[in-house]
Structure 1
Amino acid sequence: MKSNYFQTVRNGLASAAILAASAAFAEPQHGIAMYGDPALPPDFVSLPYANADAPKGGKIVTGEVGGFDSLNPFIRKGRVPWQLRFLAFESLMGQSWDEPFTLYGLLAETVETDSTNLWVEFKLRPEARFSDGSPVTAEDVIWSYETLGTIGHPRYAGTWAKIETSEVTPDGKIRFTFKEPDRELALIMGMRPILKKAQWDGVSFEESGLDTIPISSAPYIIDDFEAGRFVSLKRDPDYWGNDVPFRRGTNNIDELRMEFYGDATAMFEAFKAGELNTIRETSTAKWAQQYDFPRVTNGQVVKSEIPHQRPTGMNGFVMNTRRDIFKDWRVREAMLQAFNYEFIDEKLNGEEGLPRIASYFHNSVLAMENGEATGKVAELLEPYKTTLLPGTYEGYALPTGDGSARNRAGIREASRLLEEAGWVVKDGVLTGPDGHPFVFDILLKQGSAEHQSIANIYKEHLERLGVFPTITVVDSAQYRERTDAYDFDMTHFIRGLSLSPGNEQMSYWGSDGVVSPGSRNLMGMNSPAAEAMIQTMLTSESQEDYRAAVKALDRILTAGRYVVPLWYSNVSMLAHDANLKFPDKLPVYGDWIGFQPDVWWSE
């Protein structure tokens, strides 16, 4: 891979041919959309869900369970406050959460790409600055992309591997040329964080901990911290981009403070006492029953429910198919049958309960349809039909129970499937042909009280099958180390999915993650059919073809039976001080990454 800041003309006749063939289609734009044109015109004032007249000031104090030992969110080692990745670093372009996948200029003034989807160019804003006042340069951009892609966190490696060259053109633009056509890659290249190259001269980027505070290109800078206790970010009074349309009405809060706690109970008590002024709730039962403390009843705290139209993603207990006991799909189906969802849902969420996640893209236009695959979805699956698991082509639905504690039908079906897979009960213990018992461990992270409650009930149900799992709870550092090395049998698993899935799907489900440490493919799935659907998504010329590929992928993932799904809500539940406000106009993604604090303000 070539990367040369001073290179102005690409080498090779092939590159010259690509440039000549696509030049007629390239034109600088203020934004770029996955399909069609950006919804906002070049002269837009602000994002539609931002209040351009919002006042500046105030403080947001949030809570986190765990700790941290680094302030660099882009390295492989260490624990980092996850928010820093989004708050302390600017990118070339920013995503509008009111469109499926559209970016508008931030550090970059314009973007242009060609009709063959083989390259993208960005023109930096001359006024773009780091928090130390130095200009953001093309050299910083190219260094950031190459560093993240080679020695940074593994989530960046897959994208960088698709880049043939990175260079500065004769007119000063930054050009990335792709190894093969990829419609989404032009957008992804606009979303990488930009770091200051000079800050890391003579400093180990890979080993950076708390001794190096990254220089920001974003509206916030790290102002203060205490190891494992809190991090405070202050709004930069000299932030260069206040008048950029994408930024008007955003980043209104003066201070963002993250407090860290040993468990979720301590964090909730801190919110009740006023140490925190905002908190997200995931339990509807708790939302209904435990938010009646004095600060709520006297009006100091309000409860806001924010709807969304995004996919559910997946939230549940994932089985590691690298382990022999979970390689057989019948065993995984048995684990699903034994999970008494209706009973657990009522016990933890109350009589009303919550709907169950039915598939990975459930609750959206991208979700698989009931019954047998038809039309373009069927055409895409047809070449792989003989290798697909039962239910992928014909249609698959999660097992349902009658809500009783016994779950007799589910246990009977689980027993049948396990026996079919070679497991029989001997002396009350499920035993395999080799004489070894069916045993596995459920690995959970410290502070996950709800998941521990679910696992304890699930354990009781599994014991009726002669399966006696253990539950291991470790701190966040051990948890990350073990999951990065795939050292677990079953664990809690959550993947948020967007209305524009693309390259990241390969890191979630691609075969490279079966053995490469640190991938997001925790289940260890290795499916040529899934990878083919992802590739089709990336090269589709129409939205119809794109959606068909996502629906086909949804079928493959769901019928793979890799995860025991939990529940979802199509509203986010946020309790917060009454003086913290957000606009009436909500984005289609609802309470998504950046909604709080980006468009909130304090009165």
Structure 2
Amino acid sequence: MAGQSLRRFGKLSTFCGLALALSAGATGAEPQHGLAMYGEPELPADFTALPYVRPDAPKGGAIVTGEGGSFDSLNPFIQKGNAPWQLRFLMAESLMAQAFSEPFTLYCLLCETVETDPARSWVEFTLRPEARFSDGSPVTVEDVMWSYEVLGTEGHGRYAALWDQIETMEQTGERSVKFTFNTENRELPLLVALRPILKKAYWDDKDFTQSGVTNVPVSSAPYVVSAVDPGMFLELSRNPDYWGKDLPLMRGQANFDTIRFEYFADASLVIEAFKAGALNAHREFNIQSWEDQYDFPAAARGDVVKSVIPHQRPTGMTGFAMNTRQPQFSDWRVRQAMIEMFNFDYVNEVQTGGQQSRITSYYSNSPLGMRPGPAEGKVADLLAPYRDQLLPDTLEGYEFPTSSGRELDRGAMRRALGLMEEAGWTVENGRMVNASGAPFTFEIVLEVNDDENQSIVDTYVQALRQVGIEPRISVVDAAQYTQRINTFDFGMTPVRYGLSLSPGNEQYAYFGQTAANTPGSRNIAGIDDPVVDALIAKMLDAEDRETATAATRALDRVLTAGRYAIPLYAWNESFDAHVKELHYPEPLPLYGDWILWRETTWYWED
């Protein structure tokens, strides 16, 4: 076969040249069983199971959970259509899989070994000879290469950025494929390893970009779609011939015979279905409901169990983002005034009975979070070059204000009025105006049926009126909401950033300058700060966890002191209610109740 390689947007071809295979070995890289973002994998090559599973877990039973909304597609890898989010993780395997007992470590799944150079400028995988799709056909290098090209050029937008950073992709042996990068980024080998691998032949006579529920893509994963009724339910069954069931990595996983997702047009009906016994597991997101709504007969009898699952993931940021692209929010003093006027303690009492803690920074609840007080050590050293560009309290240590807990907090009002005056706004005839007499106002955009945030906003607006500010509240349907957010047509809106224990390139998408004015980006607040970009770069360039942690703590200080969002509740625990026959293994993973943890590691035992 000709010595060719696949380049970006080029034609798919393969390469089996011995010279390239030998040159890869000449770099000093050696085949490994795993790959960690920093340092070495914790588990040895001969590990027998992941530490957070029960290796001898019984097989059988079903887990049935509820989802609000509907779906019209079974292809989660394309932009078109609305596919159940779980299919992205249940329908296809990747070359490697993440161990959630470590911040960011991958172990070989479809691949037998992985190799990379010290600079991580390339990565090479050798496939397991036993790897199979659900139809019994082998997973080949051709399938791997086709998957990367079609995902990068025709798939969901989430795959495009990585594809653009792959300079070449080439077959280096019968079961080996090598990726060489055009960008210096130590995370890229791990990102490549996590892309879903699809069966090329299945799509030969189909349009990959079209959604629908008539075609069920062939999978190499433990489960296959077995029954579907759009708008009603999706059911997956465990494949008894799953190729990887004896792999140490998969031991104690994929224990249920059936995974079923029931759909409800009204999301509030999910808990009612659980109470009625139509579901056997339910994740609760309201602590007041957790305390008040689980006294139904099955729970009283002990047939339903309430489990509180702690984790060490960063809190991320859940709250209300202020759009700094709009002139009224470009001044940090105004943003601080908006934060002062948000009476969290009162809101918390009304919404949760005062039981919920508050987010203190973007990475709080984790080792990556900024430490109280002045910056010290490596964190201080990283911030020192930018001292003149930093907002107040970045180096000293920023804390979100506390309130009296009373509905009207006069201390917060005084602080807010003082900050607004410094920024050029004063109250005249009961209205907050600038020197030209123009009123200070903004639009809060909410999605329809977002009842909790609507209630919180109503309380917040009542407080703002006390200082002469009258925001407009717009409640729009899902399509309009998406369009408004994608075009940054709002003053304030709910935001949620879920951050990991190993933050990577997605930080640019959340907080980077390029994303600030890119329509559709996740940089909702419009953060446009070169210091943020510089610290993300230092975090990504770090070659050890200590340096990466220091860079993330410095970034956390800059983001938090930026006053870009009004933070709400810190979810440092998950609340899972389930029938007593459903059990979870211990010890718990570092990530706690993370993506499909219930579906992949729980088991049924009477």
**Aligned residue number for residue 549 of structure 2:** 547
CA–CA distance in 1 between the matches of 2:536 and 2:257?
A: 41
Alignment of 1:239-258 (within 5 A): 239-258=242-261
Change (3 A) 1:200 1:420: farther
SS of the counterpart of 2:328? Answer: helix
1:243-274 Cα distance to aligned partner (Å, 9 max, x none): 12111111111222222223342221111111
Once the two structures are TM-superposed, the CA of residue 20 in structure 1 deviates from its matched residue by: 5.3
Structure 1 position 125 matched with structure 2 position 132: no
Structure 1 position 83 matched with structure 2 position 90: no
**Aligned residue number for residue 502 of structure 2:** 500
CA–CA distance in 2 between the matches of 1:98 and 1:417?
A: 45
Change (3 A) 1:409 1:396: same
Segment of structure 1 superposing worse, 316-325 or 394-403? 316-325
Structure 1 position 380 matched with structure 2 position 387: no
**Aligned residue number for residue 340 of structure 1:** 343
Segment of structure 1 superposing worse, 204-213 or 176-185? 204-213
SS of the counterpart of 1:187? Answer: helix
Partner AA of 1:468 in structure 2: E
**Aligned residue number for residue 516 of structure 2:** 514
**Aligned residue number for residue 571 of structure 1:** 573
Once the two structures are TM-superposed, the CA of residue 466 in structure 1 deviates from its matched residue by: 2.2
1:482-524 Cα distance to aligned partner (Å, 9 max, x none): 4333333322211222211112212221223223333222222
SS of the counterpart of 1:257? Answer: strand
Structure 1 position 37 matched with structure 2 position 40: yes
Partner AA of 2:451 in structure 1: A
Alignment of 1:272-287 (within 5 A): 272-287=275-290
Alignment of 1:319-334 (within 5 A): 319-334=322-337
Partner AA of 1:195 in structure 2: L
CA RMSD of aligned residues (A): 2.3
TM-score by length of 1: 0.93
Alignment of 1:386-401 (within 5 A): 386-401=388-403
Change (3 A) 1:296 1:540: same
CA–CA distance in 1 between the matches of 2:336 and 2:75?
A: 40
Segment of structure 1 superposing worse, 386-395 or 276-285? 386-395
**Aligned residue number for residue 363 of structure 2:** 361
Query: Of residues 106, 109, 113 in structure 2, which corresponds to 1:110?
Result: 113
Give yes or no for contact 1:185–1:503 (8 Å, CA) kept in 2.
Answer: no
CA–CA distance in 2 between the matches of 1:542 and 1:567?
A: 32
Structure 2: stretches of 5+ with no match in the other structure: 1-6
Change (3 A) 1:266 1:568: same
Partner AA of 1:302 in structure 2: V
Once the two structures are TM-superposed, the CA of residue 191 in structure 1 deviates from its matched residue by: 0.9
CA–CA distance in 2 between the matches of 1:198 and 1:9?
A: 21
TM-score by length of 2: 0.93
Give yes or no for contact 1:31–1:38 (8 Å, CA) kept in 2.
Answer: yes
**Aligned residue number for residue 205 of structure 1:** 208
CA–CA distance in 2 between the matches of 1:499 and 1:221?
A: 30
Once the two structures are TM-superposed, the CA of residue 145 in structure 1 deviates from its matched residue by: 2.1
**Aligned residue number for residue 531 of structure 1:** 533
Change (3 A) 1:412 1:294: same
Change (3 A) 1:577 1:473: farther
CA–CA distance in 1 between the matches of 2:425 and 2:205?
A: 58
CA–CA distance in 2 between the matches of 1:31 and 1:470?
A: 53
Segment of structure 1 superposing worse, 110-119 or 431-440? 431-440
CA–CA distance in 1 between the matches of 2:424 and 2:266?
A: 41
SS of the counterpart of 2:26? Answer: helix
Segment of structure 1 superposing worse, 285-294 or 458-467? 458-467
Once the two structures are TM-superposed, the CA of residue 345 in structure 1 deviates from its matched residue by: 1.1
Query: Of residues 209, 220, 223 in structure 1, which corresponds to 2:223?
Result: 220
The count of residues paired between Structure 1 and Structure 2 equals 597
Once the two structures are TM-superposed, the CA of residue 19 in structure 1 deviates from its matched residue by: 8.8
CA–CA distance in 1 between the matches of 2:314 and 2:33?
A: 28
Once the two structures are TM-superposed, the CA of residue 572 in structure 1 deviates from its matched residue by: 1.1
Query: Of residues 3, 8, 27 in structure 1, which corresponds to 2:15?
Result: 8
Identity across the alignment (%):
53
Give yes or no for contact 2:39–2:545 (8 Å, CA) kept in 1.
Answer: no
Structure 1 position 178 matched with structure 2 position 185: no
Give yes or no for contact 2:149–2:163 (8 Å, CA) kept in 1.
Answer: yes
Give yes or no for contact 1:159–1:503 (8 Å, CA) kept in 2.
Answer: no
Query: Of residues 421, 424, 434 in structure 1, which corresponds to 2:423?
Result: 421
1:126-159 Cα distance to aligned partner (Å, 9 max, x none): 2222223332222222222233333333332222
Give yes or no for contact 1:143–1:197 (8 Å, CA) kept in 2.
Answer: yes
Partner AA of 2:559 in structure 1: L
**Aligned residue number for residue 298 of structure 1:** 301
Structure 1 position 317 matched with structure 2 position 324: no
Change (3 A) 1:431 1:209: farther
**Aligned residue number for residue 600 of structure 1:** 602
Segment of structure 1 superposing worse, 553-562 or 147-156? 147-156
CA–CA distance in 2 between the matches of 1:268 and 1:453?
A: 20
Give yes or no for contact 2:86–2:596 (8 Å, CA) kept in 1.
Answer: no
Query: Of residues 441, 450, 467 in structure 2, which corresponds to 1:465?
Result: 467
Change (3 A) 1:193 1:149: same
SS of the counterpart of 1:189? Answer: helix
Give yes or no for contact 1:263–1:446 (8 Å, CA) kept in 2.
Answer: no
Give yes or no for contact 1:75–1:153 (8 Å, CA) kept in 2.
Answer: yes
1:143-184 Cα distance to aligned partner (Å, 9 max, x none): 222333333333322222222211111454111111233222
SS of the counterpart of 1:348? Answer: helix
**Aligned residue number for residue 99 of structure 2:** 96
Segment of structure 1 superposing worse, 220-229 or 80-89? 220-229
Change (3 A) 1:518 1:295: same
CA–CA distance in 2 between the matches of 1:428 and 1:571?
A: 43
CA–CA distance in 1 between the matches of 2:395 and 2:466?
A: 32
1:38-89 Cα distance to aligned partner (Å, 9 max, x none): 1112122211111121122222111122222322223334332211111112
**Aligned residue number for residue 447 of structure 2:** 445
Once the two structures are TM-superposed, the CA of residue 534 in structure 1 deviates from its matched residue by: 1.4
Change (3 A) 1:517 1:497: same
Partner AA of 1:190 in structure 2: A
Structure 1: stretches of 5+ with no match in the other structure: none
Give yes or no for contact 1:65–1:447 (8 Å, CA) kept in 2.
Answer: no
Partner AA of 1:28 in structure 2: P
Give yes or no for contact 1:155–1:519 (8 Å, CA) kept in 2.
Answer: no
Query: Of residues 150, 154, 159 in structure 2, which corresponds to 1:151?
Result: 154
Change (3 A) 1:250 1:476: farther
Change (3 A) 1:445 1:24: same
CA–CA distance in 2 between the matches of 1:60 and 1:188?
A: 30
CA–CA distance in 2 between the matches of 1:19 and 1:116?
A: 19
Segment of structure 1 superposing worse, 141-150 or 117-126? 141-150
Give yes or no for contact 2:39–2:544 (8 Å, CA) kept in 1.
Answer: no
**Aligned residue number for residue 491 of structure 1:** 493
Partner AA of 1:114 in structure 2: D
Query: Of residues 467, 480, 483 in structure 1, which corresponds to 2:482?
Result: 480
CA–CA distance in 1 between the matches of 2:24 and 2:230?
A: 54
**Aligned residue number for residue 353 of structure 2:** 350
Structure 1 position 66 matched with structure 2 position 69: yes
Once the two structures are TM-superposed, the CA of residue 203 in structure 1 deviates from its matched residue by: 3.7
CA–CA distance in 2 between the matches of 1:256 and 1:472?
A: 38
CA–CA distance in 2 between the matches of 1:441 and 1:277?
A: 41
**Aligned residue number for residue 431 of structure 1:** 433
Partner AA of 1:135 in structure 2: P
Segment of structure 1 superposing worse, 578-587 or 314-323? 314-323
**Aligned residue number for residue 557 of structure 1:** 559
Once the two structures are TM-superposed, the CA of residue 435 in structure 1 deviates from its matched residue by: 4.8
